[in-house]
Structure 1
Amino acid sequence: MCDISLLPQITITEFCNCFHTILKFSCVYCCVISEGKPLKDEDVLQLLPVGTTATFYFRDLGAQISWGTVFLSECIGPLVIYLMFYFRVPFIYAPKYDFKTSKHWVVHLACLCHSFHYVKRILETLFVHRFSHGTMPLRNIFKNCSYYWFFAAWMAYYINHPLYTPPYYGEQQVKTALGIFLFCQLGSFSIHVTLRNLKPPGSKIKKIPYPTKNPFTWIFALVSCPNYTYEVRLKDSLLSAERDSPVF
């Protein structure tokens, strides 16, 4: 509950929280009837462009889940799924291959690269990313995770398959692809740090990113979301190193 005497000075978030228990909503937002647009969480009641009285509408947003939890689910799933194929747990390949890893060194390298990528993303989620929105609908976690989990399983199945054969161009192809992979990992990390620095802690300020002195950020002059550019290229390099043509 809230102190009625303080109502003019409280924010919309605090105002909605006053009614959260009473209305028993999972997640609430309110809006002024005159405009019908959701108010910002940081808006103060007495500063709203309304008269002495105003009507607020409350809406139940349903079950919510934090963006951080969604990101962690997207990353932990592929990490575990890939390792299941790498160690060839039962019921994936023929029984005679259970818990027998590949004899090809490039398969072990692929596992290291794949694991490194998702461990890096988990650490970035915990210590680098700053989320503008606190939550998202719970049902969206299945949609968001399905791509990452399915793609990891599809790729891991072929790379760790007992009949897998190394790349056609051999060690040179693997080294070239590995160099691109590491380059893109550095690029992705640089972009995430740059985007993080655009948002002060605890704020929802949105700024347009621009290239910095870091060469990996110069790609901002060409694309608006270069973190995804690096992401696509590093996955291409991993698949190229393994000659994983079915996944392509």
Structure 2
Amino acid sequence: MKLEVVSRSGRSIATLDVNPDSTVAELKKKFHGLKKTYYPARQRFALPVKAGETRGQVLSDDKRLSDYGLTEGGKLEFKDLGPQIGYSTVFFWEYFGPLVLYPLFFFLPQYMYPHIKAPAGAPQHALVQKLACAYWCFHYAKRIVETFTVHKFGHATMPIFNLFKNCGYYWGYAAYVSYFVNHPLYTAPNETVSVACLAVAVLAQLGNFWSHIILSGLRKPGEKEYKIPKGGLFNFVTCANYTFEIWGWLLYSVAVQSIPAYLFAATGAAQMTQWAIAKHNRLRKLFDGKDGRPKYPRRWIIFPPFL
């Protein structure tokens, strides 16, 4: 059958001769054969907008064209998603930067603070600065390991702009926090409190790691359906991984008593809260207890007892 590919404005782009039993992924390969610029990861196809809708149904790669009721002479709307880059590549670079930048201020103060000298007789680093540097490096090393061994990405790629945006966020905050925490004139807070906070923060990071393992085990290879997370803190909180992450950085901030650290924790918590609310609402909508579907259990969203 022949399908017409049009832009969202209705302009004709191409006509494809395809088998009704072809998958959307095969359709994308065929379109790429005609339009070399648009490799499959850059393409998104949707059904034309119907009355009462704001956007057409987006086609999934693993579905067949016949599953969408497409027939001879049907139309598909095409959207160029722009240049794409792999999720794991973006994650690696956004985490590698902080892993390298933070220790520079710790190990090379003579170059990072060339005109500032520590008070005579004072140790080069207080215990909290040493432990904070170790915690920071542990966290980002863990994230890189998770990227390649634990995480399963729902999408293979993302817009390449995200690489620069994400790296700007993580690298910028790494330099900002490290500059003040490792400053030669830094005044260390109560050592007992700092050590206790960082010790509990490490436990929070281990909880975050375990939560990621639970999430990774929810889907078998090739599966895309959502499942209700169970086990550990997920029995009480929808986004347990975010809960552990937030607590880890809050405790780090209390340990080092630095305003940039609190800002970093607050910014991350705000973003994770938005993601958590969206995921919580999506899971409640999917698992509504109707037509044989399980009902999503009553849980906190991210930060009990407040949210």
Normalising by the smaller structure, the TM-score range is 0.7 to 0.9
Q: Report the alpha carbon displacement of residue 207 of structure 1 after superposing the two structures with TM.
A: 1.7
When the two chains are superposed, the root-mean-square deviation of aligned CA atoms in Å is 2.4
Aligned counterpart, 1:22: 34
Between the aligned partners of 1:21 and 1:58, the Cα distance in structure 2 is 15
Aligned counterpart, 1:225: 239
SS in 1 for 2:228: coil
Between the aligned partners of 2:202 and 2:172, the Cα distance in structure 1 is 24
8 Å CA contact 1:12–1:45 kept in 2: the answer is yes
8 Å CA contact 1:132–1:203 kept in 2: the answer is no
Counterpart residue type for residue 138 of structure 1: I
Aligned counterpart, 1:161: 183
Q: Does 1:236 align with 2:247?
A: no
Aligned counterpart, 2:157: 135
8 Å CA contact 2:20–2:71 kept in 1: the answer is no
Q: Does 1:193 align with 2:213?
A: yes
Aligned counterpart, 1:69: 89
Counterpart residue type for residue 127 of structure 1: T
Between the aligned partners of 1:246 and 1:76, the Cα distance in structure 2 is 20
Change (3 A) 1:20 1:89: farther
Q: Does 1:32 align with 2:47?
A: yes
Between the aligned partners of 1:77 and 1:201, the Cα distance in structure 2 is 31
Q: Report the alpha carbon displacement of residue 157 of structure 1 after superposing the two structures with TM.
A: 0.8
Q: Identity over aligned residues, as a percent?
A: 37
8 Å CA contact 2:116–2:184 kept in 1: the answer is no
1:109-155 CA deviation, whole Å, 9 max, x = no partner? Answer: 21111101100000001100001112111112222233222221121
Structure 2 unaligned spans of 5+: 1-15, 51-55, 118-122, 263-307
Structure 1 unaligned spans of 5+: none
Between the aligned partners of 2:259 and 2:79, the Cα distance in structure 1 is 49
Between the aligned partners of 1:162 and 1:56, the Cα distance in structure 2 is 62
Q: How many residues align?
A: 234
Change (3 A) 1:182 1:91: closer
Between the aligned partners of 1:57 and 1:242, the Cα distance in structure 2 is 53
Change (3 A) 1:86 1:202: farther
SS in 2 for 1:206: coil
Larger deviation, residues 32-41 vs 148-157: 32-41
Counterpart residue type for residue 128 of structure 1: V
8 Å CA contact 1:76–1:122 kept in 2: the answer is yes
Q: Report the alpha carbon displacement of residue 90 of structure 1 after superposing the two structures with TM.
A: 6.0
Aligned counterpart, 1:113: 135
8 Å CA contact 1:30–1:59 kept in 2: the answer is yes
Q: Does 1:50 align with 2:70?
A: yes
Change (3 A) 1:90 1:135: farther
8 Å CA contact 1:128–1:193 kept in 2: the answer is yes
Flag as ranges the 4+ runs of structure 1 deviating above 6 A.
none
Between the aligned partners of 1:79 and 1:206, the Cα distance in structure 2 is 33
SS in 1 for 2:210: helix
SS in 2 for 1:247: helix
Q: Report the alpha carbon displacement of residue 11 of structure 1 after superposing the two structures with TM.
A: 0.9
Equivalent position to 2:146, from 90, 114, 124: 124
Equivalent position to 1:144, from 156, 161, 166: 166
8 Å CA contact 1:130–1:201 kept in 2: the answer is no
Q: Report the alpha carbon displacement of residue 80 of structure 1 after superposing the two structures with TM.
A: 1.1
Between the aligned partners of 1:22 and 1:205, the Cα distance in structure 2 is 32
